[in-house]
Structure 1
Amino acid sequence: MTALSGPLRGVTAIGGLIGLTILCGIPLLPASLVKLALPAGRARDRATAMPLAIAKTWARSANGVIFGISGTRVHYQQQMADDPDGRYVLISNHQCWADVMLLIKAIDPRLPFPRFFIKEQLRWMPVIGLACWALDFPFMKRHSQAAIENNPSLRDEDMHAVRRACEVFRRLPVSLVNYAEGTRSTPAKRAAADSPYRTLLPPKAGGTAFAVNAMRDVLDGILDMTVAYIDTPEPKFWDLLCGRIPEVAVRVRYLAVPAALAEGDYGADPEYRARFKAWLRELWANKDAEIAAIQDPRDPRRAFDDLSAGAGSA
């Protein structure tokens, strides 16, 4: 595949992904209908096993297509023990659509298969929407701040969606993923948001906090994931598919829930909300400095500091 030109690689990869999605969509429909027919609870939890197996097959095959054709190397650090049966909230930066596949490539099967906070509009996409429902993804409406100010009750809609999903995930292994920026970080979006960060948008604490609050008595911890496209300050999925991004650095590390955040209600307690936001801003500032260095072609650094003994290439 490495002999293919850049655009031909990209077109080949997209064609492979479309064919793979159609193929996996065939068994997904009956598996999802079986789950839909069962009452909520343990029976439906057990019925999740088949859609989950299909999702894992699709994701692993899709990553084989993407990285086999593009030739991109992924340098992966896991700064924690393997724990495929745990329950975690995972927070990560988000710069392009490749982040999703890189996340799955990095943690599966070492850690629980991820479920994502996703936009409500994706519910109606063929195959994708059905898979997201069958895997209990929380669908988020993400109202604008202006809309919430006009109708404060809208603030509770996403909180209830997270709590409903967490009721299921309390019983199942999960890496519940929240891209805390709420959207992909691009130079235009950072300028519009007056972001204080070089590579990141300001993080939104609500989704992460609601998940931590809802699962705190069964939560094994927080996973902090950072993705940096080496020497590529403005990464694009198409460029990765075309083989124009030779290397990516991915780090996943374990964070215990800070004592200051272990008790409290993000929605009802202003002091707790302020503590959670301050903790996330500090985490984001450190993440931004690391990403900016790795993605800057003028900076000699090509990997995260303090490499663990188990670091390697995925």
Structure 2
Amino acid sequence: MKRWLEPLRGAIAVAGMVLVTLLGFIPLLPASLVKLAAPWPAVRTPATRAVLWVARWWARGVNAVIVGVSGTRVTYDQQVPDDPDGRYVLISNHQCWADVMLLCHVVEPQLPFPRYFIKERLRWLPVVGLACWALDFPFMKRHSRAELERNPDLRNQDMETVRRACAVFRAWPVSIVNYAEGTRSTAAKRAAAGSPYAALLPPKAGGTAFAINAMRDVLDGVLDMSVAYVNTPEPRFWDFLCGRIPEVVIRVRRLDVPRDLFDGDYSADPEYRERFKRWLEGVWAEKDAEVSALQDPRQSATRFDRLGDSR
């Protein structure tokens, strides 16, 4: 019986997400069109507020569906004070598509609504692409190493995208989210990348460095989110929806960033670039030890240092 109930649960969750998305599209479309058409801040500002309102309620609705239907326990440890009006850069590991929605689930409304660095091809997804554009998400091209070696100037395209986005975010409470690995971590990807980590891919430091530099005079802090799917070393979104993952543990903490890393030229200063990479790799090594212990079914996993609430 369980073999049939799990896919049924997943199908119900997908149907619920589609329904919430279609309902959210009704107010999203006019608000987005007004923002697109109006050049005046007096009009664009309330249109942006309207888009944010829709995004918050869409995220709450989708999370109510996927967490409620799956039955997965979400244990959240927020080690920073509530500050919904702040401006933060938030870096996180990336395990599966559930990460994106669960991040909204656990930080909002305690922290500002997140904006993500996302892949360029998502711009063309129906509904989702429009919402991402209206919320000023930075669309990243994520060039391959071979492409960058052939044309180093391509590296500057994504950095310019980050600069433009941060210029907009300076005026709004925001959690700028960067999945520093650049893609979801899997065993195959870790092997291909020669990752020194058990559960994570090597972090890409450029996007984080540029966001911190661009926001440094208005930034309220740099946050680190660790996401672990308990006893599940290769989590998949479908397995999450079907209720096959018993628990997800998420921790958000403030990072102690050395002051000299807030001001530097990552693309042109090799010494600064190396210092920033070393710092982020140290953060990643600590994160990897925690995440891999939680996801390894052979271990009696201990939770992050402090247990938070369950949602």
1:313 alignment counterpart: 310
- Distance (Å, rounded) in 1 between the aligned partners of 2:254 and 2:297: 29
Cα deviations by residue, 1:284-305 (Å, 9 ceiling, x for unpaired) = 0110000111111222224112
Question: Structure 1 regions of 5+ residues with no counterpart?
Answer: none
Alpha-carbon distance, 1:258 to partner: 1.7
Over 3 Å counting, the alpha-carbon distance change for 1:105 and 1:284 in structure 2 is same
Deviation of the 1:65 alpha carbon: 0.3
1:56 maps to what in 2? 56
Q: Tell me how far apart the structure 1 counterparts of residues 151 and 46 of structure 2 sit (CA, whole Å).
A: 39
Give the C-alpha shift of residue 259 in structure 1: 1.6
Q: Residues 41 and 163 (structure 1 numbering): CA distance in 2 closer, same or farther, change over 3 Å?
A: farther
| Distance (Å, rounded) in 1 between the aligned partners of 2:264 and 2:270 | 10
1:247 aligned partner: 247
Q: Which runs of 4+ in 1 moved over 4 A?
A: 40-43
Q: TM-score, normalised by structure 2?
A: 0.96
Deviation at 1:27, TM superposition (A): 1.4
Per mean C-alpha deviation after superposition, the further-off stretch among 197-206 and 37-46 is: 37-46
For residues 64 and 81 of structure 2, what CA distance do their matches in structure 1 show? 25
Could you say which residue in structure 2 is the equivalent of 1:47?
A: 47
Whether the 8 Å contact between 1:213 and 1:266 is mirrored in structure 2 is: no
State the distance in 2 between where 1:282 and 1:61 align.
36
- What amino acid maps onto 1:197 in structure 2? Y
Relative distance call for 1:271 and 1:41 in structure 2 (3 A) is: farther
Q: How many residues align?
A: 310
Where do 1:1-314 residues align within 5 Å? 5-39=5-39, 41=41, 43-305=43-305, 307=306, 311-314=308-311
In the TM superposition, residue 270 of structure 1 has moved relative to its aligned partner by: 1.1
SS at match of 1:91: strand
Distance 1:112 1:83 in 2: 7
Q: For residues 201 and 11 of structure 1, what CA distance do their matches in structure 2 show?
A: 31
Alpha-carbon distance in 1 for matches of 2:41, 2:219: 19
Residue 265 of structure 1 and its aligned partner are, at CA, apart by 1.4
Taking the aligned partners of 1:191 and 1:299, their CA distance within structure 2 comes to: 22
State the superposition RMSD in angstroms: 1.5
TM-score, normalised to structure 1, is 0.95
SS at match of 1:5: helix
AA in 2 matched with 1:63: N
Verify the 8 A CA contact 1:45 1:168 in the aligned structure 2. Answer: no
| Residues in 1 aligned to 2:257 and 2:85: alpha-carbon distance in whole angstroms | 18
Q: Which runs of 5+ in 2 are unaligned?
A: none
Q: CA deviation at 1:263?
A: 2.1
Q: State whether residues 232 and 245 of structure 1, in contact with CA within 8 Å, keep that contact through their aligned partners in structure 2.
A: yes
Q: Secondary structure at the match of 1:27?
A: helix
Between the aligned partners of 1:107 and 1:135, the Cα distance in structure 2 is 17
Q: SS of the residue aligned with 2:112?
A: coil
Question: Deviation at 1:255?
Answer: 1.7
Render the CA deviation track for 1:119-138: whole Å, top value 9, x for unaligned: 11111111000000000000
- SS of 1:178's equivalent? strand
1:41 Cα deviation from its structure 2 partner: 4.8
1:123-164 CA-to-partner distances (Å, cap 9, x unmatched) read 111100000000000000111121112112111100110010
